[in-house]
A and B are shown apart, each in its own frame.
Chain A
Amino acid sequence: MIEQPAHTVFNKRLTPQTFVLGLHAPAIARQAQPGQFVMLKVRAGTTPLLRRPFSICAVQGDLILLLYRLVGEGTRIMTEIKEGQELPLLGPLGKGFTPPQKGQPAILVAGGVGIAPLIFLAATLDPSQYRFLAGFGTAQEIIPLEKLGFQDLTPLQATDDGSAGYKGFVTGLLEKTLADIPSQPASMIYACGPNVMLKKVQAIAGTFQAACEVSLESYMACGLGACQGCAVKTIADQKQPYFHVCKDGPVFPAQIIDWTVL
């Protein structure tokens, strides 16, 4: 875990709503594991005040890539980050994905910009071991991985409106995929995306008796376990009903999360 000013190498638009930020942060890049995140201060001063958490999308040498979607004021400010700008960066933080066991089929399930940590994970896996499924709203929203330097990562795509790939949610594509592969050995599903999608993924994993890890998103102030703001309800431990996304996660075994409140 390191706090260092990161030098902006690029800040590119990938689709009308998504961008990739390339930061030169060698010490953080060296330590980063798939599923971990960083806390980024998007601008000096008090607006916005707090750092924002971002999953690490890729490590390329000394570079860390972060994907972001333009949703509010914080991300609007991010679109204005210029090449050469220094940004306070803290990381790598949290617990990442558990690698699949030898011979265990892995299925990576992404929803929208939630594809970020799964790109990092895919880059560390043997291509023959995993299938990569990615859902987007429309063809226009598909994040072009080749523009991130990943010509070989070609996820099976789903779009809600059917304008590209499988028509429907990525969870439909997941069901189809699981039905097509042998049930033994049990698959390991890795998912990141909106909570409503993760909830469905967890249910499907249950049906097909597959293991499942999800990467959760939360508001958080510090990323260090101090503010305790990023609580998520768990069903694993009656004495400790909340886990913290920053320290206990952001990656959790799906079955320990209380999905009824998400």
Chain B
Amino acid sequence: MKPTNEPDLKTTLGPLELKNPVITASGTFGYGREFEELMEIDRLGAIVTKGLSLQPKAGNAPPRIIETPSGMLNAIGLANIGLDAFLKEKVPYFQKLKTQVIVNIYGHHMDEYQELAKALKGVKGIAALEVNISCPNVDQGGMAFGVDPVVAGRLTERVLKNTDKPVIVKLSPNVTDIRIIAKAVEAAGAHALSLINTLTGMAIDIKTRRPKLANLRGGLSGPAIRPVALYMVYQVVQSVSIPVIGLGGIMDFRDALEFLIAGARAIQVGTANFVDPDASIKVLDGIRDFCNENNISRLDQLIATLQSG
């Protein structure tokens, strides 16, 4: 039963309108179907699919993940099924969903991003693109595009020119000043930004003196990174005028509210999906209950409402 005082949780990310601000993060939610037995996927604002490349990618050698204090390091290496299988096997499922599907795209070269954008142009069931310029776990591409403002801007333009869908650019925290990249991507015309991707890190087995990840380095996620993510979101919101999606270690609705208050117009739940497949729905219910308890009728009454000093 829908209570009469159901708050309006709608949010907009440029041209993209979501029924609520809760999105599942790329790489933590598969292609959605993996979770459908365990949670109400259609209630989500959106899902972001596992990073997609033109060709299938096998990923890195194992071990690929290791737990760290309040977090985890991963070096999956963007293992994915590639464009052809994605269109054939996954898109028909997306078309049946009542949540919006954002496709995370990734390339080794600018041309590859452009090809992916072109191939997904006009495809029904895909609401927007999230451009991954921030994966720390592949040698070529990925983060290389996300640390140089000129390259990041040019890549954004190339994707925009080849798509009819809203373009969200996912930023790396592994930079000196994330605002510089954010502004460059905004100037290039991106509709929205999502941040942060994982922080590069490593762990060593002291007995064998070998890195715990076969890839040596990996991306740190989970609650350990949340304060860093929150501050970066706050900083970026202050310096750009396009919408920002906040993510990084959100485990429950309280964490999500922090990002919204800092100015994020939507949030992504990532690592928490691994811990609890229903975590994103619990975040959504928690936000709704918080709004009800605090007489908040619209999400706007929360977004960017940080009180200074």
- Nearest CB of chain A from residue B122's CB, rounded to whole Å: 28
**A28–B84 Cα gap in the complex (Å)?**
36
B67 touches A227 (CB 8 A): no
- How many interface residues does B have (CB within 8 Å)? 37
User: Is the CB of B166 closer than 8 A to any CB of chain A?
Assistant: no
User: Is the CB of B144 closer than 8 A to any CB of chain A?
Assistant: no
Binds B, one of A107-115, A180-188, A229-237: A229-237
A227 touches B74 (CB 8 A): yes
User: Is the CB of A176 closer than 8 A to any CB of chain B?
Assistant: no
A224 touches B30 (CB 8 A): yes
User: Is the CB of B235 closer than 8 A to any CB of chain A?
Assistant: no
In the complex, per-residue mask of B63-99: 1 if CB is within 8 Å of any chain A CB, else 0: 1111101111010100100000000000000000000
User: Is the CB of B1 closer than 8 A to any CB of chain A?
Assistant: no
User: Is the CB of B275 closer than 8 A to any CB of chain A?
Assistant: yes
B274 touches A222 (CB 8 A): yes
Q: In chain A, residues 197-228, which have Cβ atoms closer than 8 Å to a Cβ of chain B?
A: 218-222, 224-228
**A233–B275 Cα gap in the complex (Å)?**
25
In the complex, per-residue mask of B46-77: 1 if CB is within 8 Å of any chain A CB, else 0: 00001000001011111111110111101010
In the complex, per-residue mask of B15-50: 1 if CB is within 8 Å of any chain A CB, else 0: 000000000000111100011011000000000001
A222 touches B273 (CB 8 A): yes
**A241–B79 Cα gap in the complex (Å)?**
11
**A3–B275 Cα gap in the complex (Å)?**
11
Are A49 and B271 CB-contacts (below 8 A) given A229-B64, A229-B74? Answer: yes
User: Is the CB of A260 closer than 8 A to any CB of chain B?
Assistant: no
Residue of A nearest to B29 (CB): A226
B30 touches A1 (CB 8 A): no
**A82–B63 Cα gap in the complex (Å)?**
32
Q: Which residues of B contact A3 (CB under 8 A)?
A: 38, 276-278
**A106–B113 Cα gap in the complex (Å)?**
52
B275 touches A50 (CB 8 A): yes
B63 touches A219 (CB 8 A): yes
The contact of B61 among A50, A224, A239, A261, by CB within 8 Å, is A261
Q: Which residues of A contact B34 (CB under 8 A)?
A: 222, 224-226
B277 touches A227 (CB 8 A): no
User: Is the CB of A48 closer than 8 A to any CB of chain B?
Assistant: yes
User: Is the CB of A46 closer than 8 A to any CB of chain B?
Assistant: yes
- Nearest CB of chain B from residue A189's CB, rounded to whole Å: 24
Q: Which residues of A contact B274 (CB under 8 A)?
A: 50-51, 221-222, 226-227
User: Is the CB of B223 closer than 8 A to any CB of chain A?
Assistant: yes
Q: Which residues of B contact A1 (CB under 8 A)?
A: 37-38
Are A49 and B76 CB-contacts (below 8 A) given A226-B28, A231-B64? Answer: no
Q: Which residues of A contact B273 (CB under 8 A)?
A: 222, 226
Q: Which residues of A contact B277 (CB under 8 A)?
A: 3, 90, 222, 224
In the complex, per-residue mask of B208-233: 1 if CB is within 8 Å of any chain A CB, else 0: 00000000000000110000000000
User: Is the CB of B251 closer than 8 A to any CB of chain A?
Assistant: yes
- Nearest CB of chain B from residue A156's CB, rounded to whole Å: 33
A219 touches B65 (CB 8 A): yes
Q: Which residues of B contact A232 (CB under 8 A)?
A: 62
**A229–B62 Cα gap in the complex (Å)?**
8
Q: Which residues of A contact B275 (CB under 8 A)?
A: 41, 49-51
User: Is the CB of A101 closer than 8 A to any CB of chain B?
Assistant: no
User: Is the CB of A240 closer than 8 A to any CB of chain B?
Assistant: yes
User: Is the CB of A242 closer than 8 A to any CB of chain B?
Assistant: yes
**A49–B69 Cα gap in the complex (Å)?**
8
Are A228 and B79 CB-contacts (below 8 A) given A219-B65, A222-B274, A233-B61? Answer: yes
Q: Which residues of A contact B37 (CB under 8 A)?
A: 1
A49 touches B70 (CB 8 A): yes
Q: Which residues of B contact A220 (CB under 8 A)?
A: 65
- Nearest CB of chain A from residue B116's CB, rounded to whole Å: 20
A221 touches B58 (CB 8 A): no
**A241–B67 Cα gap in the complex (Å)?**
24
- Nearest CB of chain B from residue A126's CB, rounded to whole Å: 33
Residue of B nearest to A222 (CB): B274
- Nearest CB of chain B from residue A133's CB, rounded to whole Å: 28
**A162–B98 Cα gap in the complex (Å)?**
63
**A220–B106 Cα gap in the complex (Å)?**
24
**A227–B274 Cα gap in the complex (Å)?**
8
In the complex, per-residue mask of A52-76: 1 if CB is within 8 Å of any chain B CB, else 0: 0000000000000000000000000
Listed residue (A46, A49, A224, A232) with the most chain B CB atoms within 10 angstroms of its CB: A49
**A47–B68 Cα gap in the complex (Å)?**
9
Could you pull out 21 A-B pairs where Cβ atoms are within 8 angstroms?
A41-B276, A46-B251, A49-B67, A49-B70, A49-B271, A50-B275, A51-B275, A219-B65, A219-B67, A221-B274, A222-B34, A226-B29, A226-B34, A226-B50, A227-B28, A227-B65, A227-B274, A229-B64, A229-B74, A229-B76, A240-B58
Minimum-distance CB pairs A-B, first 4: A229-B65, A226-B30, A221-B274, A222-B274
Binding site for A on B (CB under 8 A): 27-30, 34-35, 37-38, 50, 56, 58-67, 69-72, 74, 76, 79, 222-223, 251, 271, 273-278
Given A2-B38, A49-B222, list of 16 further CB < 8 A pairs?
A3-B278, A46-B222, A46-B251, A88-B276, A90-B277, A218-B63, A219-B67, A221-B271, A221-B274, A226-B29, A226-B30, A227-B274, A230-B64, A230-B65, A231-B59, A241-B58
